[in-house]
Structure 1
């Protein structure tokens, strides 16, 4: 959990309601339209309302029209669903190096098609899930839409975590001068997929504000939104961009 001084919000990990194992995703999948049969959805809604906080609900396998999605729901302080993000970029490792994990999410999941921006009483938040963090275009799009914090519920494996976990977070944060938060299962989570852990909060200057180790734990930290705008005043990247040379095209904004 991460908490700014004025309001509170929580962030849960990727695939928190089941072992991270492809053969088990269908078994634990929930149809969010059926609230009586969607225990994870209902529980997060009730927790948000009970504690009066915004919850970025990690991700769970969602079943919709016989398709599985890796989905993150965001709930407001009164328990209402504010947004739902389906993982855009599926993690397919088809030719791993010796000793690495073979995993192909597209064998189980359908990719989402919508970036997700949600206004909360904390700030404007963008949502990505795990492999979504590897794509700077998504973070750039979020920054262009006024996002101040991107939450990436994630489950990097041991190999990719050691190499890229902190690096990717710092790159997305410093390039866009925003906060980046990740929440991961611990190393000892059940399932055959060995997870890196190390839930982290990174500031707009690329500084690691707080992080956990690989073990299970709770992380509480404050974000200071004024530091975003101080960073942008100090290094005004928005005025340095060469729009006559390159541009970011937001397809959804152009074709709502």
Structure 2
């Protein structure tokens, strides 16, 4: 469906119990990694070696990507996101909603410091002055009763008073909320966008940003596991492969490809991650706005199925794309082309085993 609109230091894996009537997520406490995976294998979470026939997606669910522009005024961006998500939920009945990368600010190294904000010490009580984007996302998720992948925001990590103020760090961070407004996970962009295509584009996120250091997987109790990564992360298939091996039904990437890399690789990468891993992939871009800033987003948010077919794709402007995700489609793809049973781990390693980081150091 296409609708125009007016305008994760612990591993946070969520689990549900069939014996529990409530769908409220439960966080596992901090455990050594081997103990944690033993715990996971005895729970209702899909095992690391999920095989075709196992329901990764517990019930069908509609996912919507809300493609909207970012202005130079943070408060305007936040209020517009609230209106846009409400409209998208009403029109599509989506239960999982995705916002774009840097939805609260213009995208650019010159902008990150001035738009960055710290995450609240107490996620249940964010400050309107210090944490406006966190508060806005929390409210949007709660008011609309949806799982919200809040695109990304520039995050500021403030040093303690004893530290040198110049040691402050900035991250490109996605905040994921549940339908009660609870923070489920954070993902800091792992791979920073440092590229130089002569005559086309040069961009160096590492001039300002620090990289995240973990893979982010979240279990949505009613549905199953998703993985969240940001933009340039999609070019590194290891993250996607690990997520698929750990039982995710969808890979979700807020991203802001530009007018050079977008036409070349945006859709291609979405389809590649889908066909490689035989699951759903969603990419959510800002809308293109040639009047703001010097970095212009490609747009073309899209949702891809496990056979790499594009289910819905936006154009350049403000728009919502949505699709019904059905676990049967994953099972059909994996039965028809049984890649998981045909992998040769006697020839090459299983990247999902061994040293995988699920928590920030």
The interval holding the TM-score normalised by the smaller chain is over 0.9
Shift of 1:247: 1.4
Shift of 1:186: 1.1
Unaligned runs of 5+ in 1: none
Identify the residue that residue 229 of structure 2 maps to in structure 1: 128
Identify the match of residue 151 of structure 1 among 252, 256, 259: 252
Instruction: Single out whichever of 31-40 and 13-22 deviates more from structure 2.
Output: 31-40
List 4+ stretches of structure 1 deviating above 4 A: 4-7, 253-256
1:192 matched to 2:192? The reply is no
Identify the residue that residue 47 of structure 1 maps to in structure 2: 140
Shift of 1:166: 0.5
Alpha-carbon displacement from aligned partner over 1:68-119 (angstroms, at most 9, x marks no partner): 00000110010000010000000101x3221x12110000100000000001
Identify the residue that residue 86 of structure 1 maps to in structure 2: 188
Identify the residue that residue 252 of structure 1 maps to in structure 2: 356
Q: How does 1:9-28 map to 2 (within 5 A)?
A: 9-28=96-115
Identify the residue that residue 198 of structure 2 maps to in structure 1: 97
Identify the match of residue 120 of structure 2 among 33, 57, 82: 33
Q: For 2:235 and 2:285, locate their aligned partners in 1 and report how far apart those are by CA, in whole Å.
A: 16
After TM superposition, the score normalised by the length of structure 2 is 0.67
Identify the match of residue 61 of structure 1 among 154, 159, 162: 154
Shift of 1:253: 6.7
Alpha-carbon displacement from aligned partner over 1:198-241 (angstroms, at most 9, x marks no partner): 00000000000001001111223211121001111111101110
* Kept in 1: contact 2:238–2:351 (CA 8 A): no
* Kept in 2: contact 1:6–1:122 (CA 8 A): no
Q: For 1:59 and 1:248, locate their aligned partners in 2 and report how far apart those are by CA, in whole Å.
A: 30
Shift of 1:60: 0.3
Q: For 1:105 and 1:139, locate their aligned partners in 2 and report how far apart those are by CA, in whole Å.
A: 22
Identify the residue that residue 209 of structure 1 maps to in structure 2: 311
Identify the residue that residue 271 of structure 2 maps to in structure 1: 170
Unaligned runs of 5+ in 2: 4-60, 64-91, 159-167
Kindly report the root-mean-square deviation, in angstroms, between the aligned alpha carbons of the 2 structures: 2.1
Choose 1 or 2 for highest CA Rg.
2
SS in 2 for 1:48: helix
| Aligned CA distance change for structure 1 residues 6 and 22 (closer, same or farther; 3 Å) | closer
Higher RCO, 1 vs 2 (CA within 8 Å, ≥6 residues apart): 2
Q: For 2:261 and 2:358, locate their aligned partners in 1 and report how far apart those are by CA, in whole Å.
A: 35
* Kept in 2: contact 1:70–1:86 (CA 8 A): yes
* Kept in 2: contact 1:117–1:126 (CA 8 A): yes
Identify the residue that residue 80 of structure 2 maps to in structure 1: none
SS in 1 for 2:324: coil
SS in 2 for 1:148: strand
**Residue-pair matches, total:** 254
Q: How does 1:103-114 map to 2 (within 5 A)?
A: 103-114=203-214
* Kept in 2: contact 1:7–1:122 (CA 8 A): no
Identify the residue that residue 3 of structure 1 maps to in structure 2: 62
* Kept in 2: contact 1:198–1:212 (CA 8 A): yes
| Aligned CA distance change for structure 1 residues 131 and 253 (closer, same or farther; 3 Å) | closer
